[in-house]
Amino acid sequence: MSDTTITIKRSTPKETPEQRARKRLIQFIASGVVLVLYILLAAFVQTKNPQGAFILLIGLGFGYILQRSRFCFTASMRDPVLTGSTSLTKAVIIALAISSVGYMALQMKATGLSLEKLGTDALKSVTQLPGHVRDAGVHTVLGGFLFGIGAVIAGGCASGTFMRMGEGFVQQWIVFIFFIIGSVIGMAVLPAIKSVPFLYQATPVYLPKLLGGWIPAIIFQFGMLFILYIIADIYGKKKSGEL
């Protein structure tokens, strides 16, 4: 019985041209239906939130880009260990470098070129800056470590889970349910963690402020990304036998 199922499964990739054409047509029509429903959703959300439709458009772009390029943050951190491949790691570094240029510009506009507006009434805290400048400390290490284990076991990080839900992976729909449960547990225990001074440091650390200005921060940021790119490239080439 099980043998038959396997044979049937193995034979599916060898569909006839007619079957393939039919599948293409059905899925093409379905994509049109999905798009129309999404536009209706965007129109509805727009009535509740003036930025709603734009945010939904960017989100749709994220999903399309992640799926088409098989971009996976988890794999970028797992593959160097598991398979020795660093192609995704390098791509993530490129994305970080481009984003850094954008955030640098936005933040320079907000802080002034020599951080003169920082600490004034206009800009009291670094957490108000564009981007997530948040508390850094032992809690970051602890949370990141647990998250890294979870992402590899679950077969996808946060963005990857949502992407695979759209691709039709049943596993990621289950991950999603337990991601929600885990998040509630996390929210419930966070105040307890925050009350232990060793575990939680309520200090957002902003590199331009820490290092004493934009120039050292830029040297650190892009220098580190460049060095990491070179390390990833050499490591990947060594593992694949190119070097």
Partner 1 sequence: MSEKKKYQFHELYLKKEWSYQTGAVLLALFSLALVIVTGKSWGVTGPLGMWGGWILSKLGIAVDTWAGFKATPVASYDIWKDLPALTNIGIVVGALLAVLLAAQFKIKKLKSIKNLWAAILGGLLMGIGARISLGCNIGAFFTALPAFSLHGWIFWISIFSGAAVGSKLLVKYFM
Nearer to partner 1, 17 or 241 (CB): 17
List binders of partner 1 among 40-99 (CB under 8 A). 41, 45, 48-49, 51-52, 54-71, 73-74, 77-78, 81-82, 87-88, 90-92, 94-99
Q: Applying CB under 8 A, does 123 fall inside the site for partner 1?
A: no
Residues constituting the chain: 243
Region of 112-120, 129-137, 235-243 interacting with partner 1 (CB under 8 A): 129-137
Please state at what angle helix 214-239 crosses helix 73-82, rounded to 10 degrees.
50
- Report how far residue 59's alpha carbon sits from residue 54's, in angstroms, rounded to the nearest whole number: 9
Tokens of 186: 């996390």
Nearer to partner 1, 181 or 234 (CB): 181
Eight-class DSSP state of 46: H
Q: Assign 3-class secondary structure to 11-26.
A: HCCCCCHHHHHHHHHH
Nearer to partner 1, 3 or 142 (CB): 142
List binders of partner 1 among 144-203 (CB under 8 A). 144-155, 157-159, 161-172, 174-191, 193
CB of 53 to partner 1, least distance (A): 9
Nearer to partner 1, 105 or 234 (CB): 105
Contact between 172 and 155 (Cβ < 8 Å): yes
- Report how far residue 156's alpha carbon sits from residue 93's, in angstroms, rounded to the nearest whole number: 18
CB of 3 to partner 1, least distance (A): 17
